[in-house]
Structure 1
Amino acid sequence: MADFFTHFSCVLDVGSARNAARAMTIYLDLLAEYQIDDAGGIPFAVSVEPAHGAGRLWIRDDRTGDPAQVVVFVLRCAHKFRLTGRWGFQWANTCTRPRVNAFGGGAHVIDLGSRETVAWIATYGWLEDTIAGKT
């Protein structure tokens, strides 16, 4: 049997160490809202790492992650801390064994000020559409 994973690692600058600490509460609230715990598979991990800076959050998967939940979290941080500018991240879909259509990825860009998606792409749908001549 094959195992499927979604991997990502990115940094969100929330402006200060104080905001970074407050962002951890937003993260825990999100987990509680969706009733997610370690046993249920956390959709992503967040921490403050000295290598990235005191006001920057390291967002990543620990085993596999959910990019949609990262977007929800980042939008909540953008609202709470009045972040501006564009931010984005990319992910990779992988599999432990060779499987047709088991590999791919995507990217998502957000305008933090307007709290709207600028653009996103998932390669699986793009590949099928392009082969079929739909794009």
Structure 2
Amino acid sequence: MSIFSRIKDAIFGSAAAQEAPQAASAAAPPAQGSAAAPAPAGAATAPASQATASSPAPNAPMSQVDVEAVLTGLAAKKGQKLDWRKSIVDLMKLLDLDSSLEARKELAKELNYTGDTSDSAAMNVWLHKQVMAKLAASGGKVPEDLRT
């Protein structure tokens, strides 16, 4: 699996994991409420079916993934301060991926970096922008300031 695929899967997979419990808890109250409180059959059935119809599907399109929100949530859970908004190294660390120079050079090759990989500072800046742009192109919602 490519490094970018691991980055994308880590972000989009985290988003799906966050949405699943929310969708389940959103659907649970109508079912519990209708069982606990007697109501006319038509009244109990309509809200439950409406809630099901309006709930997001667990396999929602990737365009629904808010990359910034997912990464911000992951950063809040980490015990260390990571500047994932600017640093490809910190972004990879946040996602528990190998952030070594060799891994970043491999990612640069994968994303067709044409600059000098010996200039790691320039390569890192380029990589961060490219990863954010590719996440957006893959259906993620990425703010413009993270792509430029």
TM-score by length of 1: 0.24
Specify which structure has the higher proportion of helix.
2
